[in-house]
Amino acid sequence: MTTLKAGDNAPNFSALDQDGNTITLGDYKGKKLVVFFYPKANTPGCTAEACNLRDNYQVFKTQGYEIIGVSADSAKHQSNFRNKFELPYPLLADEDKAVIEAFGVWGPKKFMGKEYDGIHRTTFVIDENGVISEVIGKVKTKDHAAQIL
């Protein structure tokens, strides 16, 4: 799916979060960053993944990581998702899929025998210099923090 790999520079992105704030890669210069892409807010797998990261958020913070979630949901949908599950990190509302396509996580998927285009659940760990240190393509939604850390 994605052609990005460890050692590549992370794509420079700019998108609005759930509150309409512009978030860019440059905002995280000098910090380690986890960018996780998920198909749809408020679905079982995406909720499990987001809540697992939430439950381990302080561990991430103590190790110098920031977290951003990204999907093609609207800002309103992202805001509802964030508030409902008390997520402590921003969720990008990438409705035009600019960030999703920059990271190469949009493409053909199969579910129950049907093929369609959608977001491939993928996580990128980015170092303080904006270089990708890890790409996780086989995300364990209920134990994702352990995969990253």
* Active site residues per annotation: 46
Q: How far apart are CA 118 and CA 103, in angstroms?
A: 13
Quick one: CA torsion of 52, 57, 58, 61, rounded to 10 degrees?
Answer: 140
- Give the CA diameter of the chain: 44
CA pseudo-torsion sign 137, 36, 38, 99: negative
Amino acid at 32: K
Q: What is the 8-class DSSP label of residue 55?
A: H
| C-alpha to C-alpha distance for 58 and 146, rounded to whole angstroms | 13
